[in-house]
Chains A and B, each alone.
Chain A
Amino acid sequence: MTKMDKPAGFSRRSLLKTGGALVVSVGMPIGLETVTAIDQAFAQGTRPPLTPDQLSSYIAVNADGTISAFFGKIDGGQGVDVAIGQIVADELDVAVAKVKVVMGDSATSVNQGGASNASGIEEGAVPLRNAAAEARRVLVEMAAGLLSVPADKLVVKDGVVSAADDPSKRITYTQMIGGRYFNVPVEWNKKWGNPLSIVGKAKPKKPADYKIVGQTVRRNDVAPKVFARFDYITDVKVPGMVHGRMLRPPVAGAVPTSVDESSVKDISGARVVWKQGFLGVVADKEWDAVRAAQRLKVTWSQVAPPFPNENELYDHIRKAPVNKRVEAMKVGDIGPAFAGAAKVISAEYDWPFQSHSSMGPGCAVVDIKDGQVTVWTGSQKPHYAVEGVAGILGVPRDKVRAIWVMGPGSYGRNDAADTMIDAALLAQAVGRPVRLQYSREEGHAWNAKSPASVHRVRAGLDQDGKVVAFHFEAKSFSRLDVASNESEPRHTLAGQLTGLPPKPADIYLFPGEAAPGGPYSFPNKLMAWETIPPLLASASPLRTSHLRDPLGPELYFAAESFVDELAAATGSDPVEFRLRYLTDQRDIAVVKAAAEKAKWETRPSGPRGPTSAVAHGRGIAFARRGKTLVALVAEVDVDRQSGKLRARRFVVAHDCGLIINPGGLRQCIENQTVYALSRSMWEEVHFSREKVTSVDWATYPILDITEAPDAVDVVLINHPELPPSGAGEPTVRTVGAAIANAVFDATGVRLRRGPFTPDRLKAALS
């Protein structure tokens, strides 16, 4: 069983009241009554209710001198918890090693939205920073009373408060409150999820005073992982648990019409759970559950194949009726500008469905005992999981505790949520705790996908080659057939299979998000998006939801490829062309930094010199994501014969405001680059008219280590005067366009459909 992080706090008599030695040790003329009064004003033995307006909901000083920081988000592997620890340690004036970040347990932290939108630091750190600052203020005030020294004459170092002019007058955080809880209200903004925030009376430190923020701090999870002493969600065991497996239909949309339970009767402990479209098995041993799922004889309903031929996907999107159209960004009036343009250039770009296909299929453990439900989940939004599990089981929310445990990859709404809801139904049906890990096929074919889309872009140029109009149209399936969290069971496979009506959100680009083309000062701009109906309304293996940098790869593949086309059409160098239209100094700085580090050769892109077997090229792309800016240069080789692409080197210039942990940030950017290379080169969900046929790593290839670049050079631009903004996703969106632009530079061929597989490249080259 996974050991759970528990706050060290437990109810006991006040340390100060019983620990007379403390008073003696500081030798101050201070009476027990005073001590008691100070103590009662700020601290108590039992934890106050876990509500956002309590300091104790974020920070505790433990009896062993460590600090618990209760974080209502999670870290899926990017090291967000390390940065949170740095921020808390700096505000509290304690060593960073003393801070233990306790994440993602609905019983110990408030709902800060889970992992979401690369907001772990940008939004998630704000209440933790403010809470840590307030905790320090309270502790100094307590010390002032106990030491009879005015608060402004006290200094704090490594959790020890002492008189500035007399270090012998000292008291530690642990002595004052260790093992108990703050009883201090804070001001909550009354919001839940990502924007949840609080302020206390204390003001956080100025960036100039940071000692730990801005330093590279190592992760705590690497050693346990390499020594096999780290439990993932797949390793959680509960006494008496059984293993589950689910069965999926041969044609998407079909449901079981008959199930022959006798077909698995010789498998020890095998039991069938069937409820409408929901069909699973459990067995005492995992292998028996696997075998039972393979052997179970099921008759499925006859349904019409729900999907178009894969090679007609983009035609389907282009011709599909429009559900909703939104003009997300409008500057000036493109109508007259196009009418008066000397030249109009246009292009269309297509991007396929892509899959989470996490390293391991989703897994969850659900234990229902005496009306209390405990869920161990890899879902990156465990607080919302509470609601989803309560909903599917029909129990009150306060009877459910969801505990996040690191899953096998977590970059959005992957299959972790669905396994959890499935496991809850199985556990309820069989009356035993259930551990469910999906098959590889389910992890590929049945997880939510990012939507396939087409992007039509055109621009008007005047006689001098100046851009006078820019028009970007995205047409796509909704980005959220199911919500990015599982708080409503109808947004899960099990919910839909047991008859809950789906409720897709008709949305593509989030309102207010920086639209493609946005940073460029083209005088007339229109950016619009359209959604089309889903191919299959309920329990679809092509249902969409958020995948790492939602919509980023496809939108910026289109936008930044097109900007490159404009540069080429006007005989301009692609860097110079971008700088001509960027006006924000940070935008300009990041593009220049990438070009400089890459030793960018200023010239219009396109093939040069005699044709060689392997062509070389370089390309750039620039994007904003929220307040974070990324410029990325790709250097590629293209084998004209095979169509095989090799991205040799990337240079990434990155500005996310204040940098918390430069070493961690560098790796995070490097890893995003390689991940996005995989998305750009290989990843495409294949399907037949009946079902998704990308079911494993052979049918959904991803990047191999032999295809990883030789180097990813990262240039970090630090802005201590600006708040930190998200860094977990922005780089992803720049890679596709930079590669496509480099391929153009190498070969003169424009890639307008991803991914850039050898077959596709070969066809484009011939």
Chain B
Amino acid sequence: MSQKFTLTVNGKAHTIEADPDMPLLYALRDDIGLNNPKFGCGLAQCGACTVHLDGQPTRSCVTPLSAVGKAKITTLAGLGTPSSPHPLQTAYIEEQVPQCGYCINGWIMTAAAFLGKKKKPSDAEIRDALSGLKCRCGTHMGIVRAVKRAAEMMG
């Protein structure tokens, strides 16, 4: 049965009516119309759907709406803007990371949470923190460079 849910996404409240079992990803994409969390696998295996729930990186493709509660949801669009970018967004541009870029959401959202907790990580720590995320184009070297650059920017 459908229920009403109020989701706070990037500081804005949205009320939707949906199946409590529906993964958050579908609410964000289909009901609220955001394009940044991506559907990659629906199995929490790739990270393309990652959002922050109260700052915690979370795979929205397996998070049922019923589990979201009052958590504040942050998506890539809420992380920073061209006029006020997150260091990772700046670093991605500086390092020109993409090939297709469909995976970007997962890497940046996961790395943002990691860099929020860990100052000046080593290359190995960066790789460990990002382990499990997928990129199919092979941009891994660029990703490591960008995260390292962002870490340096964040001091």
With A222-B96, A359-B134, A696-B45 as contacts: A227 and B89 at CB distance below 8 Å: yes
Query: With A and B bound together, what is the CA distance between A77 and B103 in angstroms?
Result: 12
Taking a contact as CB atoms under 8 Å apart, the answer to whether A705 and B133 are in contact is yes
Interface centre among B101, B133, B134 (most CB of A within 10 A): B101
Chain B residues touching A, range? 35 or more
Taking a contact as CB atoms under 8 Å apart, the answer to whether A706 and B137 are in contact is no
Residues A261-301 near B (CB distance < 8 A): 285-287, 290-291
Q: How far is the CB of A74 from chain B (nearest CB, A)?
A: 11
Taking a contact as CB atoms under 8 Å apart, the answer to whether B22 and A287 are in contact is yes
Query: With A and B bound together, what is the CA distance between A302 and B41 in angstroms?
Result: 30
B residues in contact with A705, CB < 8 Å: 127, 130-131, 133, 135, 140, 143-144
Query: With A and B bound together, what is the CA distance between A226 and B101 in angstroms?
Result: 9
Total residues of chain A contacting the partner, CB 8 A:
63
B-binding segment of A167-175, A526-534, A568-576, A668-676: A668-676
CB-nearest residue of chain B to A673: B138
B32 within 8 A of A: no
With A226-B108, A673-B138 as contacts: A696 and B41 at CB distance below 8 Å: yes
B120 within 8 A of A: no
A residues in contact with B96, CB < 8 Å: 218-219, 222, 663-664, 667
With A287-B19, A670-B142 as contacts: A437 and B39 at CB distance below 8 Å: yes
A228 within 8 A of B: yes
A478 within 8 A of B: no
B residues in contact with A407, CB < 8 Å: 100, 102
Query: With A and B bound together, what is the CA distance between A115 and B36 in angstroms?
Result: 25
A736 within 8 A of B: no
Contact of B136 (CB < 8 Å), options: A286, A359, A712: A359
Residues B97-155 near A (CB distance < 8 A): 97-105, 108, 123, 127-128, 130-144
Per-residue CB proximity of B46-73 to A under 8 Å, as 1/0?
1010000000000000000000000000
Taking a contact as CB atoms under 8 Å apart, the answer to whether B35 and A671 are in contact is no
Query: With A and B bound together, what is the CA distance between A464 and B47 in angstroms?
Result: 57
Taking a contact as CB atoms under 8 Å apart, the answer to whether B40 and A231 are in contact is no
Taking a contact as CB atoms under 8 Å apart, the answer to whether A698 and B140 are in contact is no
Residues A520-548 near B (CB distance < 8 A): none
Taking a contact as CB atoms under 8 Å apart, the answer to whether A227 and B141 are in contact is no
Q: How far is the CB of A547 from chain B (nearest CB, A)?
A: 12
CB-nearest residue of chain A to B2: A268
A703 within 8 A of B: yes
Taking a contact as CB atoms under 8 Å apart, the answer to whether A359 and B45 are in contact is no
Q: How far is the CB of A365 from chain B (nearest CB, A)?
A: 14
A residues in contact with B142, CB < 8 Å: 667, 670-671
Query: With A and B bound together, what is the CA distance between A219 and B139 in angstroms?
Result: 15
CB-nearest residue of chain B to A230: B101
Taking a contact as CB atoms under 8 Å apart, the answer to whether A225 and B82 are in contact is no
A residues in contact with B133, CB < 8 Å: 705
B residues in contact with A410, CB < 8 Å: 100
A709 within 8 A of B: yes
Query: With A and B bound together, what is the CA distance between A232 and B103 in angstroms?
Result: 12
Taking a contact as CB atoms under 8 Å apart, the answer to whether B93 and A359 are in contact is no
Taking a contact as CB atoms under 8 Å apart, the answer to whether A287 and B26 are in contact is yes
Taking a contact as CB atoms under 8 Å apart, the answer to whether A440 and B77 are in contact is no
A residues in contact with B45, CB < 8 Å: 440, 696-698
Taking a contact as CB atoms under 8 Å apart, the answer to whether B138 and A671 are in contact is yes
B residues in contact with A437, CB < 8 Å: 39
Query: With A and B bound together, what is the CA distance between A291 and B39 in angstroms?
Result: 16
Contact of B77 (CB < 8 Å), options: A228, A408, A709, A712: A228
Residues A201-227 near B (CB distance < 8 A): 218-219, 221-223, 225-227
Taking a contact as CB atoms under 8 Å apart, the answer to whether B138 and A672 are in contact is yes
Query: With A and B bound together, what is the CA distance between A664 and B30 in angstroms?
Result: 35
Query: With A and B bound together, what is the CA distance between A225 and B85 in angstroms?
Result: 13
With A359-B135, A440-B40, A706-B128 as contacts: A671 and B102 at CB distance below 8 Å: no
B81 within 8 A of A: yes
A22 within 8 A of B: no
B residues in contact with A291, CB < 8 Å: 19
Taking a contact as CB atoms under 8 Å apart, the answer to whether A708 and B48 are in contact is no
Taking a contact as CB atoms under 8 Å apart, the answer to whether B22 and A222 are in contact is no
Q: How far is the CB of B24 from chain A (nearest CB, A)?
A: 11
B residues in contact with A678, CB < 8 Å: 138
Query: With A and B bound together, what is the CA distance between A667 and B146 in angstroms?
Result: 13
CB-nearest residue of chain A to B139: A671
B92 within 8 A of A: yes
Query: With A and B bound together, what is the CA distance between A234 and B40 in angstroms?
Result: 10
With A77-B99, A698-B45, A705-B143 as contacts: A234 and B39 at CB distance below 8 Å: yes
B76 within 8 A of A: yes
Contact of A359 (CB < 8 Å), options: B35, B40, B42, B82: B40
Taking a contact as CB atoms under 8 Å apart, the answer to whether A225 and B104 are in contact is yes
A78 within 8 A of B: yes
A489 within 8 A of B: no
CB-nearest residue of chain B to A711: B141
Query: With A and B bound together, what is the CA distance between A702 and B137 in angstroms?
Result: 11
Q: How far is the CB of B140 from chain A (nearest CB, A)?
A: 4
List the 10 shortest-distance A-B pairs measured between CB atoms, nearest first: A675-B138, A77-B99, A228-B36, A77-B100, A674-B138, A408-B102, A228-B77, A708-B140, A235-B35, A671-B138
Which residues of A does B touch, CB under 8 Å?
A: 76-78, 218-219, 221-223, 225-232, 234-235, 237, 243, 285-287, 290-291, 357-361, 406-410, 437, 439-440, 663-664, 667, 670-678, 696-698, 702-706, 708-712
Beyond the given A228-B77, A708-B140, could you list 13 further A-B residue pairs with CB under 8 A, ordered by the A residue number? A76-B99, A77-B98, A222-B93, A227-B89, A230-B101, A231-B35, A359-B103, A440-B41, A664-B96, A671-B141, A671-B142, A675-B138, A697-B45
Give 12 A-B contacts (CB < 8 Å), ordered by A residue: A225-B92, A226-B104, A227-B76, A227-B82, A359-B134, A406-B101, A437-B39, A440-B40, A440-B43, A440-B45, A667-B142, A674-B140
